[in-house]
A and B are shown apart, each in its own frame.
Chain A
Amino acid sequence: DQQVKQNSPSLSVQEGRISILNCDYTNSMFDYFLWYKKYPAEGPTFLISISSIKDKNEDGRFTVFLNKSAKHLSLHIVPSQPGDSAVYFCAARTFFGNEKLTFGTGTRLTIIP
């Protein structure tokens, strides 16, 4: 039972345009959501997060949107840069879950120069 889903395995975007990565979840007990970025042969690195009490969080070029009624979150990257090419994982946590994260399957983003 995949509680966190990333339905697009891959995405290609022109440099300078907006990249939108999507994530859906099924567990209504999730209260904290994160996006991680992963380069080959490296561990995931934290990118941005959002608490369930908010619907938007911004950090520079990165914005995460949360739609709780739709159980959907998205990551917007604008403008996209070649260094953004990586695999992006969304993850979610329940409040009483010992900080365990449930990860999606990842989306490989390729920025085309």
Chain B
Amino acid sequence: NAGVTQTPKFRVLKTGQSMTLLCAQDMNHEYMYWYRQDPGMGLRLIHYSVGEGTTAKGEVPDGYNVSRLKKQNFLLGLESAAPSQTSVYFCASIPGQGNQPQHFGDGTRLSIL
């Protein structure tokens, strides 16, 4: 039982390149989230999904797109990477509504040169 798995763990991109970060969970959770963590900023919500086929914007959505075609997967895309998107990205999931903690993956460290 892997929980929440993020791939890749590390990536270096050049400005303007595109890439997709994958989050996979094997807990049959309904809700999934993408956060970014920057020094001194805590974790900030980028986009989230409350079920297969649904997505919604979080606090800092600009420059990112997401898709939830399958319940277990939540993809985060950068169409044209910018140095300001250098960060550590975390995915999280919960079963659904209710007082339950989010389960996090181990993160993807992304550097944009």
Contact = CB atoms under 8 A, between A and B. Distances in A.
User: Which of A4, A99, A101 neighbours the largest number of chain B CB atoms within 10 Å of its CB?
Assistant: A99
Contacts, number: 60
B50 A98 contact: yes
Contact of A100 (B40, B45, B96): B45
A32 B98 CA distance: 10
Contacts of B58: 100
A49 B45 CA distance: 20
23 contacts: A4-B42, A9-B40, A32-B99, A36-B101, A36-B104, A41-B107, A42-B107, A43-B4, A43-B92, A45-B104, A46-B101, A46-B102, A49-B101, A89-B42, A98-B48, A99-B94, A99-B98, A99-B102, A100-B45, A100-B48, A101-B43, A103-B43, A106-B42
Interface of A: 4, 6, 9, 32, 34, 36, 41-46, 49, 51, 89, 91, 98-106
Given A49-B101, A98-B48, A101-B102, 18 more contacts: A4-B42, A32-B99, A41-B107, A42-B107, A43-B104, A44-B104, A46-B102, A49-B99, A89-B43, A91-B43, A99-B94, A99-B102, A100-B48, A101-B33, A101-B43, A101-B45, A104-B42, A105-B40
